[in-house]
Chains A and B, each alone.
Chain A
Amino acid sequence: MILLQRALVAELTGPAVDVRKVRDSLQQAIALEHATIPPYLYALYSLAPGRNVEIAQIIQSVVLEEMLHMTLSSNVLNALGGTPRLDAPDFIPTYPGPLPGGVESDLMVHLAPFSMPQLQTFLKIEEPEHPLNFKAGLTAEETITIGQFYTAISDAIARLGNAAFVHPPRNQVGPDVMPNAIVVTDVATAQQAIKTIIDQGEGTSTSPDAGVGGGYAHYYRFMQIQKQRLLVATPGGVQPELDYAYQGAAVPFDPTGVYAAPTDPGAAPGYPAGSAQAFANDNFNYAYTCLLKALQALFSRDPGQQQFDRTLGLMMSLKGQAKAMMSGSPNPAVITGPSFQYQPTNPS
């Protein structure tokens, strides 16, 4: 379970809620959702085509929902009169490093090819709330879980009331453009959007089912890799824990089907200037920055299908580039991992 600084929600409590503080928290939520995507993608890209297919499908399904969560948070923020901010150098966390708003000593997130140790990081990010997991040296009063963070936002929005929502709705990415997106216009739709984020991430208190979008909550999806078996329903149990079991089809892990990409390629000293790695990484980072700019436009100006399609095209381009880099194309002697750094010019 990842722990966030309680300060993130300190100003959301109390009867008089400042809408600006709620907007700040939603911006924090967007940054947090985004921050999980590079490590997940890095692991996903590192899986060679046709190998570890089940693991790839699981990671991909989680990444897609993290993108949905960014969208939902952006919709809520826009509905409250705010503007998401993605096109900025400090929007991307440093890898290795803590997630935005996270407790630094809690979890260092790395960009690394898929491995069982890296899976532990993913499990930790997605682990549902459990008080026994609090670390020594940190009291519960200083930290909150991601679920508590979103719940605090949701509660604050309820106290703001419908009057806080702008009309007509602005910059809403709807379900016609992105499946399962929710157009946010009032407290009810905002809370529905936030509940979707919580449920998909953590599941409900009684079931690993995510609700919206189908499938299990992220933690249980990743646990299938850990247990090397799909999670299946085992009806008839007397308590939730007995209604499901990791007894489905095998989820095998073949370490030879993982590209030998470096860990944390952006950490100093980085790729040597003028190297083939730096060249490929620059192209990738420029495209990644393009994606942030395109998402910025999607979430702040142009939430339509055409702009959404542009972002999809950029995501496909990133995938193609990363696959080439990690697989050693064109030169098998040169393996490169993308560093996911902000780079508005090419070369940097």
Chain B
Amino acid sequence: MSYLNALRLHFAGEFQANVSTVNNDPAHFHNAAFQSSYQLMQGDGMTPPNGWFNPEGDASFRLLGCRVTGAWTAAGAAAPSDPVFSCAIADSDVRVPAKLVDLDSEQQLVSEIWGLEVRIANARGETLVRGDFAPAAFADIWDRATGGGDGDIGAGATYQSVLQNLQWADVSASPVLSALRAAAGDGLLSIKFNFDGLNMDFKSPKFMCGRIVGTIGSATSSEPKHLVVGRQFMAQAAAGGNFFTPVGGINFCTAVVDAAAERIYLDLGNALSTASPGGPINNLGDLEVTVLVPAATPGGSGAKPVALGKIPATGAGGYVSDSDWYARSAGVVVLPLTAAQVQLAATAPLSITGAGTARIAEWTSGAFVRADRFVFRMSPGDRARIPVYAMQWGRPLSGVDVAVAFDPSQLQQTLSAPPYVGAGPTVAAPTAALAFSATVRTDGDGVALVDVLAGDPGTPRWFNGGADYGIDGQVYGVRPTFADTRTYSGPDNQWNFISFLIWSGFAPSTPPTWTDIQPILQQYANLYPVMNRFLNLADFDSVVGHGDLLRLAFGLDPADPNSMPVTRDLSPAKRDAILAWLKNPLAGPVPAPKPRLALEAAAVAPLIAGPPPPRGGKAAAAARRLILQVGRGAAS
């Protein structure tokens, strides 16, 4: 099943991702060197050194004005009279907004949505169904806009997850919603949406907003939550760009061939470039979906492309000519197949081709492997069992070996160069702090379980040679791939790896005192100026005076949208210490440093009259990935 199926509805509107940006520079985590100007909105040339483009961000993630734009069942398009067409896709009406959260300052390319409740509401705002979006990270970020702004502004990315803890009202008036409810026997719905066109102009009413289009369908508990077991089109990387530029102009995408219904469902929602950020889809010509039927004799010549269907660029309903096509379909295309085509497609690679060089295809083996959930936070001693899904021709691939290895290449270690105020700590070391199965074999469902054990990385990311409090723990990248690279090979997706934040062991004095707690809270006070609206987290009296609220916020489950810290980057050990201290707020043996912000004046030496500001935090982070630094000889 999943959203990529006959039964589904599409929606379109806007999102807001009001992320804070002081933490974009890892060197800002150095409490001892933090300067008040780091909390200021960026100015020309990043001078004085500042808090980048949204220092006051509160991490809120909102769905804004999202309307149902299309609805389908196995019988075809829903009747226009179905009240689902007057529905909104909204976020919670009984809780605070969800939060968009980076894993780490040195792994900013897997931002997760936490605490999001998604509702389908009628025209009066009354909820017909609500469910909790299982926290998920974006995938497949790429340079989507070909003009009108690059960096974060020009980026596109996608989220896939499930809605759980569903609460249904009476949906009997809507055949589509009734069908969804009937199909949600496992208490789940599948949801996938695409972002693009982020607005980074703080003078615009739409600051930190962008376009969202998406699809909601059915889900079962036996499926992966963040991945479709389907046909995976793999893009070859072109050189340059901020995030990823596909050689053939079409980004990673997925299809499902429904043999029984004789249809192919193809999700192009994050695959087609746009002329401008959040703008119209570029014309790649009619897109032909083709199956490459192998030669009669294995290895022989004469492989033959057979057309399965065409997605017109122009004419009625064309993806270019129809300006509503993207909003109405969320990029999901359904093509009818004949029985013969279904048979041909069952064991041969699919491709999509357009005009000129526009092209993307499955691996010739039709195989694909990826972890379902791919972002993990762990404490020393924690174990995780991570499902990795292997598939071939859209079906589970059983009995294959999956190799699992460290791959820090996409992590973002900072060089000491503008706009950064200093070098960022080394990433992905020590490797001894993360142990995992080196090879795992898929079961009958195509699932291999990677057992992971977190050790204690120590404090490798403290500053000043380890003397000064710094970034907690360490980030690691681990990539699962097919062990048999001769049989299973093709263009890799650089983003298909598992990111870990392994927290440092933490042993405060017993009972903990302000000496233990102050550096932790000072760092949050520094990095999140939004907290100044409530209290000074670095100040003993202010913290004690807000003890009740802090006990509440630090005591909540991280999935709760009210949970502190918003960033979800506090280890359970430190959280426990803070909670223990709040019950018994002792001053401590060592005089705590004075709150830095109170000390700092605006008289800060300019960094340099440097280059123009980077075009966003994600683009800046992507530019300092190790894989690029290796190319420049800057890191080993």
Contact = CB atoms under 8 A, between A and B. Distances in A.
Pair from one complex: yes
A97 interface: no
B19 interface: no
B94 A346 contact: no
Contacts of A14: none
B62 interface: yes
Contacts of B556: 309
A345 B123 CA distance: 9
Give chain A's interface residue range (CB within 8 Å of chain B). 20 to 34
Nearest to B123: A345
Given A293-B93, A330-B207, A345 B56 contact: no
Contacts of B376: none
B304 interface: no
B536 to A, nearest CB: 9
Interface in A229-275: 274-275
A8 B416 CA distance: 71
Contact of A344 (B91, B125, B552): B125
Interface string A323-348: 11000011101000000000011110
Contact of B96 (A289, A297, A314, A345): A314
A161 interface: no
The 7 nearest A-B residue pairs measured at CB: A344-B125, A313-B562, A276-B205, A323-B533, A330-B202, A345-B125, A317-B96
B131 interface: no
A290 B88 contact: no
29 contacts: A49-B532, A49-B533, A275-B205, A279-B205, A279-B206, A283-B16, A293-B94, A294-B94, A297-B94, A310-B95, A312-B549, A313-B95, A313-B96, A313-B562, A316-B562, A320-B58, A320-B530, A329-B56, A330-B54, A330-B56, A330-B207, A331-B202, A331-B203, A344-B93, A344-B124, A345-B90, A345-B121, A346-B62, A346-B64
Interface residues of B, number: 39
A319 interface: yes
A49 B598 CA distance: 13
A312 B94 CA distance: 12
B96 A287 contact: yes
Interface in A35-54: 49
Contacts of A347: 64-65
A32 interface: no
A304 to B, nearest CB: 14
B87 to A, nearest CB: 11
Nearest to A333: B203
Contacts, number: 89
Contact of A309 (B65, B92, B552): B552
A30 interface: no
B41 interface: yes
B533 to A, nearest CB: 4
A329 B121 CA distance: 31
A49 B62 CA distance: 27
A58 B343 CA distance: 77
Nearest to B58: A320
Given A49-B533, A278-B205, A283-B97, 4 more contacts: A312-B549, A316-B534, A320-B58, A330-B54
Contacts of A331: 202-203, 207
Interface string A276-289: 10110001001101
Interface string B196-237: 000000111111000000000000000000000000000000
A297 B207 CA distance: 33
Contacts of A297: 94
Given A313-B562, A346-B65, A347-B65, A276 B207 contact: yes
B58 to A, nearest CB: 6
B561 interface: yes
A347 B533 CA distance: 25
Nearest to B54: A330
B40 to A, nearest CB: 11
Contacts of A294: 94-95
Contacts of A287: 96-97
Interface in A109-137: none
A188 B164 CA distance: 45
Contacts of B93: 286, 289-290, 293, 344
B402 to A, nearest CB: 41
Most buried by A among B60, B205, B206: B205
A60 to B, nearest CB: 12
Nearest to A272: B205
A79 B543 CA distance: 38
Contacts of A286: 93
Contacts of A49: 532-533
A275 B205 CA distance: 6
B76 to A, nearest CB: 29
B346 to A, nearest CB: 46
Contact of B41 (A279, A290, A330, A345): A330
A265 B551 CA distance: 35
B622 to A, nearest CB: 24
Contacts of A275: 205
A22 to B, nearest CB: 29
B162 to A, nearest CB: 23
Interface string B526-540: 000010111000000
Contact of B562 (A309, A333, A344): A309
Interface string A58-93: 000000000000000000000000000000000000
Nearest to B532: A49
Contacts of B41: 330
Contact of B97 (A289, A317, A324, A333): A317
| Candidate in A329, A330, A333 with the most chain B CB atoms within 10 angstroms | A330
Interface in B103-134: 121, 124-126
A294 B553 CA distance: 17
A274 B205 CA distance: 7
Contacts of B553: 313
Contacts of A278: 205
B538 to A, nearest CB: 14
Nearest to A282: B64
B355 to A, nearest CB: 37
A29 to B, nearest CB: 24
Contacts of B552: 309, 312-313
Contacts of B204: 276
A53 to B, nearest CB: 11
Nearest to A273: B205
Contacts of B207: 276, 330-331
B202 A314 contact: no
Contact of B534 (A289, A290, A312, A320): A320
A2 B20 CA distance: 45
A316 B94 CA distance: 14
A316 B203 contact: no
B99 to A, nearest CB: 11
A324 B205 contact: no
A204 B121 CA distance: 49
Contacts of B203: 276, 331, 333
A324 B96 contact: no
A179 B41 CA distance: 40
B212 to A, nearest CB: 13
Contacts of A346: 62-65, 90-91
A283 B206 CA distance: 12
Nearest to B56: A329
A276 to B, nearest CB: 4
Contacts of A283: 16, 60, 62, 97
Interface in B45-72: 54, 56, 58, 60, 62-65
